[in-house]
């Protein structure tokens, strides 16, 4: 069992799975010789050759369109997008073709495409390299959406994604590519898609998050516990489908909820969680559902610390909910 970063876990998983299944093809901009912008595909070209590790032109529409064709003909394409902000260049291929292929053909054709790449802020990348656009994909019927926060989950969820017969959007928080290390077992194992993980149990308030904000939420929980507040922290891991049962069980216990994510507040994924809690757990709530999110503005370059949820903002919101 090796101690790996999130990027390292993804890299080793790609190699392991490509050795086992010659249908897996990786394609994208600079995935070959360069090894990807963040080196997640480093070493793949040397081992598997240019027929299975394909450097493409700078066209997301072409990358996703070709990936769809590969999937129809029986391959298992993994399309990397350099930054998920750039996926908008191939958005029509995702929402109008890949996501709808099984439905429009009555199940005669499937599109087991994985679209993966870095997402979110934390590296001062500015407005075109820092967005967290998960809501667009969650809102598109036919897509599964995954956002791992730990190396172990990254490996297990990527293997689970490769076993799907439907398309998967696999978002990798770039700020934790190499800042988080964890022991990751050798060989194949899976983490179930659609199952959240209770990282820390508590009695006073439930904090729900995903991606890089999971780690900031855990830090805020530790700070709150210094003030005798017991915080339960849930890592969603998967946004579509998402594990409403685990959330409900927690909220029925604590009666208070704080939702943390990087995306803008208005119609962010936290709004869907809040709506479902209002429908299914209203009588268990002892305080308003609170959200700590990114701002309803373009992502800034120099002042991203004003945009992103901070430890202080999360902790203060926990205190506000508990003292309501």
Q: Where are the domains of the chain?
A: 2-184, 197-322
Distance CA 39, CA 80 (A): 11
- Mean pLDDT computed over 151-159: 98
Q: 125-142 pLDDT, tens per residue?
A: 888 998 999 999 999 999
pLDDT band at 226 (very low <50, low <70, confident <90, very high): very high
- Mean pLDDT computed over 43-59: 97
Distance CA 289, CA 271 (A): 10
- pTM over 0.75? The answer is yes
CATH of domain 197-322: 3.40.50.920
- Mean pLDDT taken over the chain: 96
For the chain, what percent of residues have pLDDT higher than 90?
A: 95
Q: 74-85 pLDDT, tens per residue?
A: 999 999 999 999
pLDDT at 305 exceeding the cut of 90: no
- Mean pLDDT computed over 272-301: 96
Query: Looking at residue 198, what is its pLDDT?
Result: 98
User: Minimum mean pLDDT among 37-51, 74-88, 118-132: which range?
Assistant: 118-132
Q: Is 2-184's fold the same as 197-322's?
A: yes
Distance of CA 258 to the CA centre of its chain: 19
For the chain, what percent of residues have pLDDT higher than 70?
A: 100
129 assigned to active site: yes
Question: Token pair for residue 115?
Answer: 């679209």
pLDDT band at 124 (very low <50, low <70, confident <90, very high): confident
In CATH terms, is domain 2-184 a member of 3.40.50.970? yes
Q: What is the DSSP string of 7-20?
A: HHHHHHHHHHHHHH
Q: 231-245 pLDDT, tens per residue?
A: 999 999 999 999 999
Question: Token pair for residue 145?
Answer: 């959406």
pLDDT at 301 exceeding the cut of 90: no
Residues with Cβ < 8 Å from 88, sequence gap 6 or more?
A: 60, 133
Query: Looking at residue 126, what is its pLDDT?
Result: 85
Question: Token pair for residue 132?
Answer: 């967290």
Q: How far is CA 281 from CA 46, 233, 276, 292, in A?
A: 53, 18, 8, 20
Query: Looking at residue 317, what is its pLDDT?
Result: 98
């Amino acid at each position: 069992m090796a101690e790996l970063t999130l990027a390292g876990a993804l890299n080793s998983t790609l190699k392991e799975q490509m050795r086992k299944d010659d249908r897996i093809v990786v394609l994208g901009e600079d995935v070959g010789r360069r090894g990807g912008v963040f080196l997640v595909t480093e070493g793949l070209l040397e081992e598997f050759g240019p027929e299975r590790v394909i450097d493409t032109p700078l066209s997301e529409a072409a990358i996703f369109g070709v990936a769809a064709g590969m999937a129809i003909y029986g391959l298992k394409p993994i399309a990397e997008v350099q930054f998920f902000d750039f996926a908008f260049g191939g958005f029509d291929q995702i929402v109008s073709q890949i996501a709808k292929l099984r439905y429009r053909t009555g199940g005669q054709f499937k599109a087991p495409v994985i679209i993966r790449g870095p997402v979110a802020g934390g590296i001062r990348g500015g407005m075109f390299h820092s967005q967290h656009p998960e809501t667009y994909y969650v809102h598109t019927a036919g897509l599964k959406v995954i956002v791992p926060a730990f190396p172990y989950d990254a490996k297990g969820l990527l293997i689970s994604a490769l076993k799907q017969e439907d398309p998967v959007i696999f978002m990798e928080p770039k700020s934790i590519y190499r800042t988080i290390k964890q022991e990751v077992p050798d060989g194949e194992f899976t983490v179930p898609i659609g199952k959240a993980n209770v990282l820390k149990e508590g009695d006073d308030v439930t904090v729900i998050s995903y991606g890089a904000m999971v780690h900031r939420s855990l830090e805020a929980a530790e700070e709150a516990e210094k003030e005798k507040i017991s915080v339960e922290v849930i890592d969603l891991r998967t946004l579509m489908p998402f594990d409403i049962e685990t959330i409900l069980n927690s909220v029925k216990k604590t009666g208070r909820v704080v939702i943390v994510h990087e995306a803008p507040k208005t119609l962010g994924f936290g709004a869907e969680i809040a709506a479902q809690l209002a429908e299914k757990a209203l009588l268990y709530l002892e305080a308003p559902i609170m959200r700590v999110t990114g701002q309803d503005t373009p992502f800034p370059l120099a002042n991203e610390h004003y945009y992103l949820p901070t430890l202080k903002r999360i902790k203060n919101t926990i205190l506000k909910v508990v003292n309501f």
